[in-house]
């Protein structure tokens, strides 16, 4: 059964099936389940007006919920539905378009641009502007969301400045180790970061089941010969591996690896596949730290396949096709989405000058929280929300 209506300057056709309706405008067809529509009624009875929180208890929707009548109100730009449970709902067409789940692309991260070594340069922003200008802060957060990396230039080379910066844009993620971690050459230091050796691209703290998703690395001083920063878009590498060698990709999604980071007082360990997907099949966490992986303890028949896949992946990560290598300068504050982008450095000569970094961890969710608020998109109410039709 179809009905034709004219909405705005184009014609929208409503179709009804057993459990969903369709809205067809030109070549585009959107489908919405009746139960989804009923669940997302925005009237005052179904929502808390000021917050949009759901008052309707979803389980109370009748199993056989269906429209008795459905029509387009072209003047209001709304879809109006009389329901079999006696309720009347009105849906803003723009809001329906934004929330059209029948046309979203699987496996594509929204707002993300993958890059290989071809990214011309890391997006840069001035420290004072990011801290004082909400427009620049938004641009910085958008760049971080899109590329997984951004640099804040001319950050004051003051002890603890990275923590102060973190607190201006979100919250520090505490771990078992220092809240502010110092990285400098120290022959007695605990890990490879404190040597002058090359550090292959890696993500920090894979020894947590939810590793920190943001890392801030503040270069207070960087005057050595060598020590160039290396960045790799891990999601770009995995996207190519998935396309060219899906069996290897699946192996990395399946075989668990245990990572450990310890000190005199702490011992953190997590066991998880190197690649974790979200429910849409997109990469959610890329956990790569060759230096912190414990001996593989997997079913015998998986070990050969794992090493084949892992070494293929490692060669990609370490190749010029994916590595971006550049020199950071004193005052640079590198921000990395560390479930996505791997960081490392080339070896340096510790006698050639001073090199001192301070880093803290944060959570990507908190930065997107800030971006949503600055963008004014944090209130989910549709334009006609909160009004009973
Ligand atoms: Fe690191």
Q: What is the DSSP string of 37-60?
A: HHHT--STTTB-TTT--B-S-GGG
Distance CA 306, CA 293 (A): 13
Distance CA 112, CA 110 (A): 6
164 C-alpha to ligand 1 centroid (Å) = 20
Predicted confidence at residue 185, as pLDDT, reads 79
Task: Kindly list the domain boundaries of the chain, sorted by start residue.
Answer: 2-98, 124-374
Burial class (CB in 10 A: 0-12, 13-18, 19+), 176: middle
Buried-state track 114-138, b at ≥16 Cβ within 10 A, e below 16: bbbeebeebbebebebbeeeeeebb
Neighbours of 327 (CB within 10 A): 12
297 C-alpha to ligand 1 centroid (Å) = 24
Predicted confidence at residue 1, as pLDDT, reads 45
> Minimal CA–CA distance to 320: which of 196, 193, 201, 150?
201
Distance CA 161, CA 271 (A): 34
The DSSP bridge pattern shows strands 149-153 and 124-126 to be: parallel
Contact partners, residue 18, CB within 8 Å, separation at least 6: none
The pTM is what? 0.87
Predicted confidence at residue 196, as pLDDT, reads 86
Predicted confidence at residue 4, as pLDDT, reads 47
CA distances (Å), 167 to each of 110, 172, 370, in order? 26, 7, 12
280 C-alpha to ligand 1 centroid (Å) = 29
Buried-state track 368-380, b at ≥16 Cβ within 10 A, e below 16: bebbeebeeeeee
CA distances (Å), 39 to each of 17, 61, 68, 190, 286, in order? 18, 8, 16, 54, 35
104 C-alpha to ligand 1 centroid (Å) = 35
82 C-alpha to ligand 1 centroid (Å) = 57
* Shared fold status for 2-98 and 124-374: no
CATH class label, 124-374 = alpha beta
The phi, psi pair for 238, rounded to 5°, reads -70, -35
209 C-alpha to ligand 1 centroid (Å) = 17
CATH (residue range 2-98): 3.30.2020.30
Residue by residue, pLDDT tens for the chain (389 residues) are 444 444 444 588 999 999 999 999 888 999 999 999 999 999 999 998 888 899 999 999 999 999 999 999 988 889 999 999 999 999 999 899 989 999 877 678 889 999 987 777 899 999 999 999 999 999 999 999 999 999 999 999 999 999 999 999 999 999 999 999 998 877 776 677 788 889 999 999 999 999 999 999 999 999 889 999 999 999 999 999 999 999 999 999 999 999 999 998 999 999 999 999 999 899 999 999 999 999 999 999 999 999 999 999 999 999 999 999 999 999 999 999 999 999 999 999 888 889 999 999 999 999 999 999 999 877 766 654 444 44
């Amino acid at each position: 059964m179809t009905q034709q209506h004219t909405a705005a300057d184009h014609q929208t056709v409503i179709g009804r099936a057993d459990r969903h309706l369709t809205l067809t405008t030109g070549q585009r067809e959107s489908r919405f389940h009746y139960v989804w529509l009923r669940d997302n009624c925005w009237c005052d009875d179904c929502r808390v007006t000021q917050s949009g929180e759901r008052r309707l208890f979803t389980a109370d929707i009748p199993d056989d919920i269906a429209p008795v009548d459905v029509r387009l109100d072209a003047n209001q730009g709304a879809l109006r539905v009389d329901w079999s449970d006696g309720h009347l709902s009105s849906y803003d067409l723009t809001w329906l378009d934004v929330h059209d789940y029948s046309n979203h692309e699987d496996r594509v991260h929204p707002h993300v641009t993958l890059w290989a070594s071809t990214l011309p340069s890391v997006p840069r922003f001035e420290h004072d502007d990011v801290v004082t200008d909400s427009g620049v802060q938004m641009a910085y957060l958008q760049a971080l969301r899109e590329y997984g990396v951004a640099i804040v230039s001319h950050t004051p080379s003051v002890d603890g400045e990275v923590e102060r910066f973190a607190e201006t844009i979100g919250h520090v993620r505490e771990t078992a180790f220092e809240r502010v971690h110092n990285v400098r050459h120290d022959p007695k230091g605990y890990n490879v970061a404190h040597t002058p050796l090359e550090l292959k691209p890696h993500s920090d703290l894979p020894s947590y089941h939810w590793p920190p998703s943001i890392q801030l690395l503040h270069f207070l001083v960087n005057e050595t010969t060598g020590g160039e920063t290396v960045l790799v878009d891990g999601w770009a590498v995995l996207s190519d591996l998935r396309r060219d060698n899906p069996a290897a990709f699946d192996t990395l999604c399946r075989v668990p690896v245990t990572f450990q980071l310890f000190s005199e007082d702490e011992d953190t360990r997590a066991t998880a596949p190197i690649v974790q997907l979200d429910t849409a099949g997109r990469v959610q966490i890329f956990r790569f730290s060759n230096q912190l992986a414990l001996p593989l303890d997997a079913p015998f028949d998986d070990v050969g396949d794992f090493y084949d896949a892992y070494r293929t992946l490692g060669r990609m990560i370490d190749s010029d096709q994916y590595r971006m290598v550049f020199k950071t300068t004193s005052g640079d504050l590198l921000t990395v989405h560390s479930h996505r982008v791997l960081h490392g450095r080339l070896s340096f000569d510790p006698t050639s000058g001073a090199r001192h970094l301070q880093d803290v961890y944060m959570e990507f969710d908190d930065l997107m929280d800030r971006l949503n608020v600055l963008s004014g998109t944090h209130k989910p109410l549709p334009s006609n929300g909160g009004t009973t039709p």
